A = this chain, B = another copy of it.
């Protein structure tokens, strides 16, 4: 939003999240409009909730409808492509999506924290808003699909967003905005990537009880 590079990554993040929303619609057997709606909710949901909590209203996409249209486009693209994704190569494509999603996560953690800072929030709230921006799209996707949110129970996900946002906020006085954004992105993406690669997860208290 503030830099060309961050802007391009923001677009990538929104599109990847939109695609993951549409894939959830595919798993649930939804129709065309279900694909579009879940793509929109997942793609721009995190930034929307961040804007509402901060009082940045109307929310960011009301004045820039291209975000909305891009999510719908990503949803329709998945609708066309999804039936062919079954069978050979599915595992590899899912893997690719998880890595793209990690890019989106790391971008949103940093840009979400910076947006909060620019709106006057202190460091703790800025870090929290980075995590909100990065993870609430996925939470919304799962709630709308009628599932328990995976980001709350699987692997290192919100943790990576918190880490990326915290590194950005901590590095800001030392490295300036560009440097801090790069370092925060690296921290968030690195942690999420390591979790994906090695199956890292945080300690739990035990298996779910019914």
Contact = CB atoms under 8 A, between A and B. Distances in A.
B203 A158 contact: no
Contacts of A147: 146
A210 to B, nearest CB: 9
Contacts of A68: 124-125, 128
A52 interface: yes
Interface residues of A, number: 60
B139 A30 contact: no
A206 to B, nearest CB: 6
Given A52-B52, A53-B58, A204 B31 contact: yes
B62 A203 contact: no
A119, A148, A159, most chain B CB atoms within 10 A: A148
Contacts of A197: none
Nearest to A82: B205
Contact of A32 (B57, B203, B206): B203
B158 A37 contact: yes
Q: 8 closest pairs, A vs B, by CB?
A: A55-B57, A146-B148, A29-B208, A65-B124, A31-B202, A34-B152, A55-B58, A33-B158
Interface of A: 25-34, 37-38, 40, 48, 52-55, 57-59, 61-62, 65, 68-69, 79, 82-83, 119-122, 124-125, 128, 139, 143-149, 152-153, 156-159, 162, 201-209
Given A30-B204, A61-B125, A82-B205, 10 more contacts: A29-B153, A29-B209, A31-B203, A33-B159, A37-B158, A40-B128, A52-B57, A53-B62, A58-B120, A62-B125
